[in-house]
Structures are given as C-alpha cells and as structure tokens.
Chain A
Amino acid sequence: AQKVTQAQTEISVVEKEDVTLDCVYETRDTTYYLFWYKQPPSGELVFLIRRNSFDEQNEISGRYSWNFQKSTSSFNFTITASQVVDSAVYFCALSEAGGSGNTGKLIFGQGTTLQVKP
C-alpha cells in the first residue's frame, strides 16, 4: 500500500537556523514521484520541490535542498537559514505512475508544523 509518514509533528527553530523535515514513504511501484508542499495559514498548498524515483541526485534550489535515498525510502527536505516567513505546515507527498499512466493523485503525509521564531 502507498503510505507517507512524517514522524515530526512540530518543529520550532530560531531564525537563521537550518532545519530538516523528514519523510519516509512506502510504495510497490518502481516508478513514482515525490513532492514537498507548503501550507501557510491561508490554507492554500504551495508546491515546493519534486523528485522522480529514477533520479537520486540531490539538488539545491535557493534555500531549499533535498536528500532522496531509495535505499531507505526517505525524501528529506532542508531549509537553510530559516526565516519567519517559512513558518507553515509542510507536507511530503507521493504520486505513483500506475499501469495506465500517472493520474497525478497525491498521497500526503500527516504534515510537519514548522515554527520559525525571530
């Protein structure tokens, strides 16, 4: 069964600290896609990053970076030099290719609430 687990319920850091959000996933598919979304208090989920299962190269995009490891089924997300505006709920999500192509349907984790204090 497909499942996404975010073990950290809440994280609190002080501005300018680096923070890593953990994500562990389960899937039987060999082709799948992983995402991170941010949900600020306004409620609208905002796309942050994505990674394909066949590309384990880790990248940095501005203050965001991610560590994808298939061997441990983990897709961790790091914010460098956190800012107060980063305070939000962060969701890891899984999308499977499926036999008939990708439906775009996302399976979300429970979310991690990040509070960045000034």
Chain B
Amino acid sequence: DTGVSQDPRHKITKRGQNVTFRCDPISEHNRLYWYRQTLGQGPEFLTYFQNEAQLEKSRLLSDRFSAERPKGSFSTLEIQRTEQGDSAMYLCASSLGRREDEKLFFGSGTQLSVL
C-alpha cells in the first residue's frame, strides 16, 4: 500500500488526557498537511510541513496542539489536555510540493472522541 497511512483509525479518550496521532505520507512527498473535520463540515487546515520544517499553523491550532515531522518522513500530531471540543476526524495529506495546482493525497483519518 503506497497511500497515506494514519494510525490509529479511532481513538476514544477521557477529557484531560493527552493523545498522539501518527501519519505516514507517500514516501517521495515533501509536503505534509494536517486537517480537522467535524461532522457535516469540510476539512479545516491546521498546519503543514515542507520536509521537516513546519511552515504554517492555523489559528485553530491552540497551544495544546503540537505537530512534528522530525526527519521529513512521518508526522505526529499531539493534543494535550483534550477537551470535548477536540472531538473530530483528523486528516493527514501529502503532496510532492512541486507544482502550484497539485493535488493532495489524503489518508483515511483518525476519529477522535473525547468523553
């Protein structure tokens, strides 16, 4: 399977706990994106990386959220002290980063439920 892989597919946690998600992009892709999608809405941009550098963060990404891409390969998204409002689908996407209109390849997402 050469697509974008996300782990876990589902995560249930209690309010106040920390959670970490992993994303493995397509191997030759330089760019990696995190999006959040709530029920009935379109995905909202959170942050993106060009290789290991985090180049942009959305206002949606509070200080409880942190993302890393240590070696320019896989990425992790950590949420500290989770709140019920964090419940959503977290989507990862990747792209080559070589053309202006290039498409993103998405993973199947991690569904987070905060109880």
CA distance A106 to B104 in the complex (A): 9
The number of chain A residues with a CB under 8 A from chain B is: 28
The number of chain B residues with a CB under 8 A from chain A is: 29
Which positions in A face B, CB cutoff 8 Å? 4, 31, 33, 35, 37, 42-47, 50, 52, 91, 93, 95, 97, 101-111
CA distance A82 to B56 in the complex (A): 39
Task: Using A45-B106, A97-B100 as known contacts, say yes or no to A104 and B31 having CB atoms under 8 A apart.
Answer: yes
- Asked if B72 is at the interface of the complex by the 8 Å CB criterion, the answer is no
Number of A-B contacts (CB under 8 A): 66
- Asked if B103 is at the interface of the complex by the 8 Å CB criterion, the answer is yes
Would you give the 0/1 interface string for B21-63, flagging 1 where the beta carbon is closer than 8 Å to chain A? 0000000000101000000111111001000000110000000
Residue of A nearest to B45 (CB): A105
- Collect the chain B residues with CB atoms within 8 Å of residue A43's CB: 89, 91, 108-109, 111
Task: Using A43-B89, A91-B42, A111-B42 as known contacts, say yes or no to A103 and B55 having CB atoms under 8 A apart.
Answer: yes
The residue among B3, B42, B44, B107 with the most chain A CB atoms within 10 A of its own CB is B42
- Do residues A101 and B42 form an inter-chain contact, with CB atoms below 8 A? no
- Collect the chain B residues with CB atoms within 8 Å of residue A33's CB: 100-101
- Do residues A108 and B43 form an inter-chain contact, with CB atoms below 8 A? yes
The residue among A93, A104, A107 with the most chain B CB atoms within 10 A of its own CB is A104
- Do residues B48 and A105 form an inter-chain contact, with CB atoms below 8 A? yes
Write 17 A-B pairs (CB below 8 A) sorted by A numbering: A31-B100, A44-B107, A44-B109, A45-B91, A45-B106, A47-B104, A50-B103, A91-B42, A95-B101, A102-B99, A103-B48, A103-B55, A103-B56, A104-B102, A105-B56, A111-B40, A111-B41
